[in-house]
Amino acid sequence: MATPIEMPKLSDTMEEGVLSAWLMDEGDQVSSGDILAQVETDKATMDLEAFDEGVLLKKVIGEGDSVPIGQLIAVIGEEGEDISDLLDEGDDDGAADAEAAVEDATEPEPEPEEEPAPEVDVADEPAGDGQLRERTPEPVPAGTDAEGRRIKASPLARRIAQEHDVDLARVDGSGPEGRIVRRDVEARIEEGEPAPPPEREERAPEPAPQPTAEAPTYELPDDEAPYASEDISQMRKTIARRLAQSKYSAPHFYLTVDIDVEDAVALREDLNELAEEQGRAKISFNDLITKSCALALKDHPYVNAAYLPDEGEIRKYNRVHMGIAVAIDEGLITPVVRDADRKGLTEIARETRELAERARSRDLEPEEFEGATFTTSNLGMFGIEEFTAIINPPNSAILAIGEIRDTPVVEDGEVVPGKRMKVTLSCDHRVVDGATGAQFLDSVRSYLEEPMNLLL
């Protein structure tokens, strides 16, 4: 029997994907694990892996095509097999929504003989034999493989995977019948999953909104079209959707403070002299801010929180995961430095730089840009003195960081040269009140004005 390959859901927020490149040709022999194509999601370009054996009979969509998740994109089967039924269905559900497409395509096409449509059995049959199974009728992203089949995993393994944002589809099970058990997930985490994010609500990878500084051009030659059209990329769509949602559901207010960063600048210079001598990663000023915010967040739980109306709760996170907005060609993304309150400056510096580099090459794993509990956005390098940012949902606040400027200040009644930096906190008033936000900012300021505290 031929097997349909559908557009998989590759990130929490993905709704459709662009097939950016086919890596195999029609007629090629496919083994499980082969990379069929690359798919551009709203966050990253990811590999589309084959889970079946056979011959790539048909590429249903071409490079550059964008299709919703669940839609047929290719067919694998035996040489010469008639796949017209499958292709007809693919046509029929072209416009249907993703879930319907999954059902249509999988129901009449069970897996090869040795696997008699396991997902149907599990869903319909009361599990009276005490076997561990769940009867979730709808596909659960965390518990299904790319083709929507149920992944066998112990409840504990599922829970740990969820807490650590591990995709079970990428874990090998060592238990009976390939069941994924605790040790398998732990091994996967060990291999290089980052530290766990605190919660599992929908994550908000996208960062702060910044006004893009497009220089308007006034030199349109008369004989050319008045504008150029460009397809909206997945990333732009996500940014548009998430930030609009943030701005209309979270009542924003803004608090600005001017921080004396003279000592912090001097400290950073000293630290970097040392770092150079010892061959360690250099620390950016932004790393000092990351650490200051992380420490301050520990003392102000409502700023390290989320307002979750669907769950009827305000969730105060016990851990501090700092999202740091990084501008990339297609838009921006917020890689996450986890447990930044517990990390030293060198580690924060090294990790931030590494994440930012991979963000620019669109090489981040979903778990590396999901799960931030607070976000910062820095436009200081562009000479922006101060600005306001849109909160990265479901965070309750975001810090917009301006440039460090040399400015005259009044000290003991005299005007002297000083170094100052303005930061603006955008707060979600559903969680953070004015005084709460002000106290948090005061803590951030204290850390930056007495930066030796960051070394403790």
The binding site for other proteins (CB under 8 A) comprises 130-132, 154-159, 174-176, 181-183
The distance of closest approach from Cβ of residue 168 to other proteins in the complex, given in angstroms and rounded to an integer, is 14
The distance of closest approach from Cβ of residue 309 to other proteins in the complex, given in angstroms and rounded to an integer, is 25
Distance CA 86, CA 104 (A): 10
Other C-beta atoms closer than 10 Å to the C-beta of 116 total 10
Q: 183 vs 342, which CB is nearer to other proteins?
A: 183
252 catalytic residue (yes or no): no
Q: 155 vs 216, which CB is nearer to other proteins?
A: 155
Q: 185 vs 255, which CB is nearer to other proteins?
A: 185
Q: Which residues pair with 144 in a beta bridge?
A: 150
Two structure tokens written together for 300: 């102000």
Q: 182 vs 298, which CB is nearer to other proteins?
A: 182
Q: What residues have CB less than 8 Å from 435, skipping those under 6 apart?
A: none
Q: 110 vs 175, which CB is nearer to other proteins?
A: 175
SS3 breakdown of the chain: % helix, strand, coil, rounded to 5?
A: 35, 25, 40
**b/e map 277-312, b = 16+ CB within 10 Å:** eeeebebbbbbbbbbbbbbbbeebbbbbbbbeeeee
Is the peptide bond preceding residue 394 cis, with omega within 30 degrees of 0?
Answer: yes
Distance CA 399, CA 29 (A): 52
The distance of closest approach from Cβ of residue 314 to other proteins in the complex, given in angstroms and rounded to an integer, is 23
Intra-chain end-to-end CA distance of the chain, in Å: 64
Distance CA 345, CA 348 (A): 5
Give the DSSP per-residue string, 73-123. EEEEESTT---HHHHHHHHHGGGS-HHHHHHHHHTTSPPPTTS--HHHHHH
Q: 172 vs 270, which CB is nearer to other proteins?
A: 172
**The residue to which tokens 């694990």 are assigned:** 33
Q: 176 vs 226, which CB is nearer to other proteins?
A: 176
The distance of closest approach from Cβ of residue 127 to other proteins in the complex, given in angstroms and rounded to an integer, is 11
Other C-beta atoms closer than 10 Å to the C-beta of 453 total 13
Distance CA 208, CA 51 (A): 37
Task: Find the catalytic residue in 164, 300, 321, 429.
Answer: 429
The distance of closest approach from Cβ of residue 180 to other proteins in the complex, given in angstroms and rounded to an integer, is 10
Phi and psi at residue 433, to the nearest 5°: -90, 170
The distance of closest approach from Cβ of residue 128 to other proteins in the complex, given in angstroms and rounded to an integer, is 12
The distance of closest approach from Cβ of residue 142 to other proteins in the complex, given in angstroms and rounded to an integer, is 13
Q: Which residues are catalytic?
A: 429
